[in-house]
Structure 1
Amino acid sequence: MDSLSISSLLEDLKNSDATVREQATKKIWRIWFQQKGIYGLEKIDHSQKLLDAGETTEAEEVLTRLINEQPDFAEAWNRRAFLYYSMGNYQKSLADCQMVVNLNPVHFGALHGMGLCYAALGKYVEAIQAFQRALAIQPYSLVNQKLILECTFRIS
């Protein structure tokens, strides 16, 4: 990954211009998905098609195999975390989100996912902390702002 390019794009996420933020977000996701070249991207695409078809076991197998082959591929972990979240397996999703953040500390998608998992588990303080970490990277994220308010309401 080109760290200079990522740093610049991360700064663009804090820009007051929504178009600049949207373009930066798309570019960051593209970099993350393409981190391991065409092979990794094809495997992620294949797993998504399986998931869309309701073949969750097969999708999990594809992603687990990719993770075993390329354990430093953060987006493979993130996609499996999403799969686990969509299946309601929040603990497994959290564990994979944590791996993503260990590999890529600025992965706002995984931080958002952690917040969703904690909220689903009724751990609202932890959810707020995860959403706040995501907001530190993407301060204009309305969804994370809204989720922080919802979790705060549930605590009070």
Structure 2
Amino acid sequence: MKQDNKILDRLFTQLQTARSTARIEAILTQIWNIWLNTGNVEMNTLVRQGTQNLSKGDYTDAINTFTQVVEQNPNFAEGWNKRATAFYLRGNYKAAIDDIHQTLNLENRHFGALAGLATIYSEIGDEHGVLDTLEKLYQIHPFQPKLKDQIEELRSRLN
């Protein structure tokens, strides 16, 4: 289940053709605003609390908070993504990858989750995983600085 599917579809279509940095940033802000909204005031408070825990480096508290979020709202992709971030920052790559996959099952265009997955693959030395993930990311968000160069460099090294 995707959040505000029609609006997100429109925004992702616009992201494919946007060329100016200002326009891209505006679209990304709108996407993140949708992704971060659970549709429930209490749940949004939990998401903010978990995000604050992440910012302070309280990864265990963040994991616990985002676990509450995903248990209460398992279709909220950003809850899984935020918990994946906390797992990653705590060094639990397996749990982070599992949560990223759950995020992508719910929102396959989640460029933040894909970027995180590429980072983890890079850190564990899976260059083919990095390349595959970056290619998916490029299809969604093609105007990220240096992304195309990174893909081309990996392709040439791996072929």
TM-score, structure 1 normalization: 0.89
Query: What residue number does 1:6 align with?
Result: 8
2:91 aligned with 1:67, yes or no? no
Amino acid at match of 1:144: L
Provide the C-alpha distance between the structure 2 equivalents of 1:98 and 1:34, rounded to a whole number of angstroms: 20
Contact 1:118 1:124 in 2 (8 A): yes
CA pair 151-119 structure 1, distance change in 2 beyond 3 A: farther
- Confirm or deny: 8 A CA contact 1:36 1:73 kept in the other structure: no
2:146 and 2:42 mapped to 1: Cα distance? Answer: 32
Task: Give the RMSD, CA atoms, in angstroms.
Answer: 1.9
Superposed, 1:79-90 pairs within 5 Å as: 79-90=82-93
Residues 150, 82 of structure 1: alpha-carbon distance in 2 compared, 3 angstrom cutoff: farther
The answer for the alignment partner of 2:112 in structure 1 is: 109
Extract unaligned runs of 5+ from structure 2.
none
Structure 1 alignment gaps of length 5 or more: none
User: Which of 69-78 and 40-49 deviates more?
Assistant: 40-49
- Report the AA paired with residue 123 of structure 1: D
CA distance in 2, matches of 1:6, 1:65: 25
Count residues with an aligned counterpart.
156
Runs of 4+ in structure 1 deviating by more than 4 angstroms, as ranges, are 149-156
